[in-house]
């Protein structure tokens, strides 16, 4: 499934002419019965292939290890730094309700306006036509400005954004570790800051029965990082001392740290699913279980996928084997 990360064209000068015409992605899943279309689609196959390729790419690796950082990766980090700076420039407003600070709408309006320009800074000139299509996924990835909420559907849009950049050849197969450790990790930091600053509601949360209020992918990739670790076992992630000492190396523990900062009370009560996972004997079992759970709880749930958008890069058309 790494095939779409191996794209023709070795450098910008000899870029392949892209055969397709680009389009603004739109909703295609309008009723529950449309879910079958999604599961058969090229978009689903490519999205899942992308997630699993990265899952293998980070296996057994620390966040702090050495890896190649290409120019597009640097530009993506700069883009996320811009979003972060806009949060500082848009402080929360005084309002009666505790959750869903309306200043988020001001912040979002800025992204809505600037998204194409931001994406154009990452995409080489000869691919400029793709910016409007790719920018849609960036705009969808930060939460909903009407409801002031954020959830796994938004996270999926960011993964789709990165997947599109792979499909047009901006990101390459040797960028895998940097995609997760540099770009996605920076995205998580900015999302946590948004969630905290504007007190965003969890979108479609299952409360204590969900894995986490906001994210899912860092638990998948983070558990892959820990496979075959010489001494950290799943039972250790509920130990505060272990988390404090190792969170800078492992995305999974970084997520646990954020949960414990945001929630009070016994871990088993506020994060029951994760508590159960801590009893699984090995990280590879955790990883496989989380991939199955991701498909069932996120990708196969109509309330999440009804918002997903399809274009020429992630098409709704059935998969062509």
Q: What is the pTM of this model?
A: 0.94
Dig out the tokens for 243 from the structure.
């988390």
Q: How far apart are CA 40 and CA 34, in angstroms?
A: 10
* Average pLDDT over every residue of 24-43: 97
CB 140 within 8 A of CB 157: yes
pLDDT tens digit string along 242-255? Answer: 999 999 999 999 99
Domains and CATH numbers, the chain: 25-59+69-205+302-310 (no CATH), 207-295 (1.20.120.1150)
Among 119-123, 259-263, 287-291, the minimum mean pLDDT is found in 259-263
Alpha-carbon separation of residue 132 from 10, 18, 116, 228 (angstroms): 24, 15, 6, 42
**pLDDT at position 208, please?**
62
Q: Using the structure block, give the residue that is written with the tokens 């699993």.
A: 52
CB 95 within 8 A of CB 102: yes
pLDDT tens digit string along 199-221? Answer: 999 997 666 668 999 999 999 99
**pLDDT at position 103, please?**
98
Q: Report H helices in the chain.
A: 35-40, 42-57, 71-89, 103-120, 131-140, 152-167, 176-178, 185-197, 217-225, 240-246, 251-262, 267-270, 272-277, 283-294, 302-305
Q: What percent of the chain has pLDDT over 90?
A: 90
Judged against a pLDDT cut of 70, whether residue 11 lies above it is answered with no
CB 220 within 8 A of CB 55: yes
Judged against a pLDDT cut of 90, whether residue 164 lies above it is answered with yes
**pLDDT at position 10, please?**
39
Average pLDDT, the chain: 93
* Average pLDDT over every residue of 124-153: 97
pLDDT tens digit string along 59-80? Answer: 999 999 999 999 999 999 999 9
Kindly report the length of the chain. Answer: 321
């Amino acid at each position: 499934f790494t095939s779409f990360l191996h794209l023709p064209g070795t450098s910008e000068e000899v870029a392949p002419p892209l055969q397709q015409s680009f389009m603004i992605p739109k909703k295609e899943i309008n009723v529950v019965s449309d879910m079958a279309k999604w599961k058969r689609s090229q978009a689903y196959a490519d999205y899942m292939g992308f997630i699993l390729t990265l899952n293998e790419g980070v296996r057994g690796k620390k966040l702090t290890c050495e890896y190649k950082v290409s120019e597009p990766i640097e530009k993506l980090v700069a883009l996320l730094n811009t979003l972060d700076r806009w949060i500082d420039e848009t402080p929360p407003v005084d309002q009666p309700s505790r959750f869903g600070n309306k200043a988020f709408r001001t912040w979002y309006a800025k992204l809505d306006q600037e998204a194409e320009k931001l994406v154009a800074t990452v995409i080489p000139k000869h691919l400029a036509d793709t910016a409007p299509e790719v920018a849609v996924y960036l705009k969808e990835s930060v939460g909903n400005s009407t409801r002031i909420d954020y959830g796994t559907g938004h996270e999926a849009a960011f993964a789709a954004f990165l997947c599109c950049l792979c499909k047009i050849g901006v990101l390459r197969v040797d960028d895998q570790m940097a995609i997760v450790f540099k770009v996605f990790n920076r995205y998580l930091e900015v999302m946590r800051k948004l969630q905290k600053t504007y007190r965003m509601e969890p979108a479609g949360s299952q409360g204590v029965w969900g894995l986490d209020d906001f994210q899912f992918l860092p638990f998948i990739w983070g558990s892959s990082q820990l496979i075959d670790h010489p001494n950290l076992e799943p039972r250790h992630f509920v130990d505060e001392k272990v988390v404090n000492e190792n969170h800078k190396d492992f995305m999974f523990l970084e997520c646990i740290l954020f949960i414990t900062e945001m929630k009070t009370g016994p871990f088993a009560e506020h994060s029951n699913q994760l508590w159960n996972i801590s009893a699984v004997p090995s990280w590879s079992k955790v990883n496989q279980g989380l991939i199955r759970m991701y498909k069932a709880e996120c990708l196969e749930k109509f309330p999440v996928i009804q918002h997903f958008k399809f274009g020429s890069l992630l098409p709704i058309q059935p998969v062509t084997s």
